[in-house]
Amino acid sequence: MTSAARKRAAFRLGTLGAALAACLAGCTGEHTAGITAPPDPSPAGKATPGRTWIARPHRFTSGLRVGALAVTPDRCIATTLGPAPSKIVVLDEEGRPSPVAADFVAPADAVCPLAVSPGLVLGFPQDAVFVSLGPELWRLEPDLARGEPVAMLPPGQGEITGLCFDSEGSFTYDLLVLASSGSVYRLTPTGELLWLAAVGAGGRGPSVAAGGFGAHAGELLIAFPAADAVRAVSPEGTVTEVTGWSGVSAVAAIPEMVRAYGRTGAALFVAVEPGEIWCFRIDDVAAERGGVVMTSLYASGSGLAVPAGAGEELRAWARSQGPEIAAACVQRPAVTHIVVDVRPGTSLDTIAWGSSEPVPVALLSSPSFVPKLVDAATVLCAGAPALPFGKATLGRFVELNGDGEPDLVLSFSPAEMHLGPGATRLPLTGDTFAGDRVEGEAAVVVESP
Look at residue 15 and give its three-state secondary structure: helix
335-447 matches 3-329 in CATH topology: no
The rounded distance, in Å, linking the Cα atoms of 238 and 233 is 6
Q: Is the pTM of this model over 0.85?
A: no
What pLDDT does residue 51 have? Answer: 61
Q: Is 79 in contact with 54 (CB distance < 8 Å)? A: no
The alpha carbon dihedral of 241, 322, 13, 208 has a sign of negative
What pLDDT does residue 310 have? Answer: 80
Q: Give CA 408 to chain center in angstroms.
A: 27
Residues whose CB is less than 8 angstroms from the CB of residue 28 and which lie 6 or more positions away in sequence, other chains included: none
Q: What is the DSSP string of 271-288?
A: EETTTEEEEEEHHHHHTT
Amino acid at 120: L
Q: Is 205 in contact with 222 (CB distance < 8 Å)? A: yes
Residues whose CB is less than 8 angstroms from the CB of residue 104 and which lie 6 or more positions away in sequence, other chains included: 9, 86, 87, 88, 131, 133, 138, 140, 147
- Using CA atoms of 222, 174, 239, 26 in order, give the dihedral in degrees to the nearest 10: 20
283-309 burial: b if 16+ Cβ within 10 Å, else e: ebbbebbbbbbbbbbbbbbbbbbbbee
What pLDDT does residue 366 have? Answer: 87
Look at residue 9 and give its three-state secondary structure: helix
Radius of gyration of the chain (CA): 24
Low-confidence ranges of the chain (pLDDT < 50): 1-50
Residues whose CB is less than 8 angstroms from the CB of residue 187 and which lie 6 or more positions away in sequence, other chains included: 130, 137, 150, 151, 174, 175, 176, 177, 193, 194
> Where do the DSSP E strands lie in 86-215?
88-91, 97-100, 114-116, 129-133, 136-140, 147-152, 160-165, 175-179, 183-187, 193-198, 204-208
Architecture of domain 335-447: Sandwich (2.60)
> Parallel, antiparallel, or unpaired for β 335-337 and 437-447?
parallel
* In the chain, where the domains are located: 3-329, 335-447
Architecture of domain 3-329: 6 Propeller (2.120)
HSE-up of residue 333 (Cα within 13 Å, Cβ side): 25
